[in-house]
Amino acid sequence: IFSLLGHVPTGLKCHPDQEHLIYPLGCTLLIQALNTHEQNFLHGHNNNVSCLAISKSGDYIASGQVTFMGFKADIILWDYKKRELIARLSLHKGKIEALAFSPNDLYLVSLGGPDDGSGTIRVWELDLPNRKIWPTECQTGQMKRIVMGIAMANDDSFFYLGTTTGDILKLNPKSKLLVDTGPAKDKFSLGVTAIRCLKMGDMLLGSGAGLLVFCKSPSYKTIKKIQLQGGITSITLRGEGHQFFVGTEESHIYRVNFTDFKETLITTCHFEAVEDIVFPFGTSELFATCAKKDIRVWHTLSNRELLRITVPNMTCHGIDFMRDGKSIISAWGDGRIRAFAPETGRLMYVINSAHRIGVTAIATTSDCKRIISGGGEGEVRVWQIGCQTQKLEEALKEHKSSVSCIRVKRNNEECVTASTDGTCIIWDLVRLRRNQMILANTLFQCVCYHPEEFQIITSGTDRKVRAPSKRQTLSGSRQTSHEVEAKDVGSRVHTPWHSDGSEAQRYDTLEVPGGNDHLVKVWDYNEGEVTHVGVGHSGNITRIRISPGNQYIVSVSADGAILRWKYPFAS
């Protein structure tokens, strides 16, 4: 699993055992060991996690979620050691905004979202005999602020509020009065989004502009600072704060040692929908993904990012490795095809104006002499690639809508393209003309060849997987009323075969990530039955690949997550 922290305020927590980080991954909670990187998952929410809290003893975790307006949003209480659900609490509507345990582990307090009404600063007092909590409004005079974060001083003498204005309010919980504010000048850009109290009035602050600051009350002047990538959403201390971790909106997790105040990026991931994933030929050690402006190369076993290629203000729709491993070919929304060196990220060449309405799909031939690209206008174009030249060989105009997927036969004499116009076309790459067309009442999202290349498999938005020559249709998701109500148009189903033809003969299975059920499914192809189901994604699954050698399955989704699964059969 690769990290996804995203936009959850204070979503990153360091457990009191100082050995684990806990953070949300969509509707899942992830517990990651800091030393071994072992990961455990807590499944139970049916929508995205919006907040979480850990009890002071570390025995309990509480997590809240968002849901649809007017519906009840669940809070789940977890047993940390057993990694089990203890209780489900349903009372708030719409969203759980925040959670907090009492220091003695006896009570859990929850704060509702916009549906429950808020916008005030209140101190609540517990009335145990009457089973009530009584609020008192805090007085801030003429000062009006929107609060983004709250932190209590270690001795409970004051509490601090971070605001959208970029300053800090200090209040007394006993008198309920404003004590001071600051800084007077040089307020924090895009607001104070994260706040953490240390000893003796020392504070760590994070801003929406990604600035991490160490300062002191009451002046709040910057003593030390670091610029990080993405607005800061979380600051969590390891122990007393000799070391701490910072999470940002761009799914980065940094480790910072307090003494030298230097950051180390320990975990990262995409923070927008991942469009494609591809392995280089013959190795499962590395793979590449693309999302929005980024192409990233990952080390499979350690989950480490090895390379990041960024093209600002553009969107990458597809990637492929050349068979010789010397270039990554990428399809971009500005109509260009870009080739990068996979070790350095150096731009090798650009094919300008490759397609009129963006390049939406791409594939390469095994002799490294051709690129086949598909565009938003429906054209399929064949490009000759030389040492110093890139030349258009032919434009094939049959599809009426965006080309969503391209696969090339091993002998490079044929390719198949899928389109959202409801057609799949098999092309002759020698004569550069159409061989065969397949029509269906669906928006095709994916197509692939059987390893022995005597069949093609298609899938699309109707949640069905088709093998036209075999006349077999597998229903990818059950047509329940829930899915129909959710209008699951545009959810994608993808079908990579085993990379090894002999394995496919033995088991004859194929992979099918579902639509809005967010499941990865393994099917027995001859029987048309599901043999394995993978639960973990929180967004619609956009692409899936089986690694060379059939060791892993890697799936990517619209929430930015990358999940690596153990291949369910012996390789």
CATH code of the domain in which 513 resides: 2.130.10.10
SS percent in the chain: helix, strand, coil, step 5:
5, 50, 45
- For the ranges 37-41, 397-401, 463-467, which has the lowest average pLDDT? 463-467
pLDDT at 486 over 60: no
CA angle, 209 then 213 then 219, to 5°: 115
pLDDT at 493 over 60: no
**Which of 137, 170, 186 delimits the end of a domain?**
137
Measured distance CA(248)–CA(208) in Å, rounded: 9
Mean of the per-residue pLDDT values for the chain? 87
- 350 confidence band (pLDDT: 50, 70, 90): very high
Cβ pair 168, 195 in contact under 8 A: yes
pLDDT value of residue 116: 54
Measured distance CA(511)–CA(298) in Å, rounded: 22
- 495 confidence band (pLDDT: 50, 70, 90): very low
Q: Is residue 5 one of the residues assigned to a domain? A: yes
pLDDT at 15 over 80: yes
**What is the mean predicted confidence (pLDDT) over 69-77?**
93
**Long-range contact pairs involving 367-370 (C-beta distance under 8 Å, separation at least 24):** 367/323, 367/412, 368/322, 368/323, 368/324, 368/326, 370/412, 370/429
Percent of the chain with pLDDT over 70: 89
More confident residue, 117 or 167: 167
77's CB contacts (< 8 A; 6+ apart) are 60, 61, 62, 85, 86, 87, 88, 89, 108
Q: What is the 3-state secondary structure (H, E, C) of 385-397?
A: ECCCCEEEEEEEC
Dihedral sign for Cα 180, 184, 188, 189, please.
positive
pLDDT at 3 over 60: no
More confident residue, 200 or 428: 428
**Which of 106, 137, 168 delimits the end of a domain?**
137
pLDDT value of residue 472: 53
What letter represents residue 278's amino acid? V
- 539 confidence band (pLDDT: 50, 70, 90): confident
- For the ranges 239-248, 407-416, 526-535, which has the lowest average pLDDT? 526-535
**What is the mean predicted confidence (pLDDT) over 254-266?**
94
pLDDT digits (tens, 9 = 90+) for 502-532: 333 333 334 444 455 788 888 887 777 889 9
- H/E stretch holding 483: helix 481-485
Could you count the other beta carbons within 10 Å of the beta carbon of residue 401? Answer: 16
pLDDT value of residue 511: 42
Q: Is residue 258 one of the residues assigned to a domain? A: no
Q: Is residue 32 one of the residues assigned to a domain? A: yes
CA distances to 168, 369, 382, 512 from 338, rounded to whole Å, are 46, 15, 15, 30
CA distances to 58, 61, 114, 204, 234 from 53, rounded to whole Å, are 10, 6, 20, 19, 12
pLDDT at 144 over 70: yes
**What is the mean predicted confidence (pLDDT) over 344-357?**
95
- 338 confidence band (pLDDT: 50, 70, 90): very high
SS3 506: helix
How large is the greatest C-alpha to C-alpha distance in the chain, in angstroms?
A: 87
Cβ pair 5, 13 in contact under 8 A: no
Q: Is residue 228 one of the residues assigned to a domain? A: no
6: left (phi over 0), alpha (psi -120 to 50) or beta: left
Q: What token pair was written down for 352?
A: 């300008």
SS3 493: coil
In the block, tokens 């060989």 appear at 393
Q: Is residue 173 one of the residues assigned to a domain? A: no
Containing domain of residue 27, as a range? 1-137
pLDDT value of residue 512: 43
Q: What is the 3-state secondary structure (H, E, C) of 333-383?
A: CCCCEEEECCCCCCEEEEECCCCCCCEEEEEECCCCCEEEEEECCCCEEEE
pLDDT digits (tens, 9 = 90+) for 367-387: 999 999 999 999 999 999 998
What order of strands is seen across the sheet that includes strand 444-449? Answer: 444-449, 456-460, 464-467, 472-475
Measured distance CA(184)–CA(222) in Å, rounded: 12
Could you count the other beta carbons within 10 Å of the beta carbon of residue 184? Answer: 10
Measured distance CA(12)–CA(247) in Å, rounded: 6
Q: What token pair was written down for 399?
A: 């599809």
**What is the mean predicted confidence (pLDDT) over 239-250?**
92
**What is the mean predicted confidence (pLDDT) over 294-298?**
96
Q: Is residue 74 one of the residues assigned to a domain? A: yes
Q: Is residue 490 one of the residues assigned to a domain? A: yes
pLDDT value of residue 351: 96
**Which of 82, 104, 137 delimits the end of a domain?**
137
Percent of the chain with pLDDT over 90: 66
**Which of these, 410, 402, 396, lies nearest to 364 by C-alpha position?**
410
| Tally of domains within the chain | 2
**What is the mean predicted confidence (pLDDT) over 76-98?**
95
What letter represents residue 533's amino acid? V
CA angle, 122 then 128 then 134, to 5°: 20
**What is the mean predicted confidence (pLDDT) over 388-405?**
94
pLDDT value of residue 569: 83
Q: Is residue 56 one of the residues assigned to a domain? A: yes
pLDDT value of residue 1: 55
pLDDT at 84 over 50: yes
More confident residue, 14 or 303: 14
pLDDT digits (tens, 9 = 90+) for 149-196: 999 998 999 999 999 999 999 999 999 999 999 898 889 999 999 999
527's CB contacts (< 8 A; 6+ apart) are none
More confident residue, 537 or 24: 24
DSSP, residue by residue, 105-173:
SS-EEEEE-GGG-----EEEEEETTTTEEEEEEPB-TT----EEEEEE-TTSS-EEEEETTS-EEEE-T
**Strands 294-299, 286-291: parallel, antiparallel or unpaired by DSSP?**
antiparallel
Measured distance CA(115)–CA(333) in Å, rounded: 38
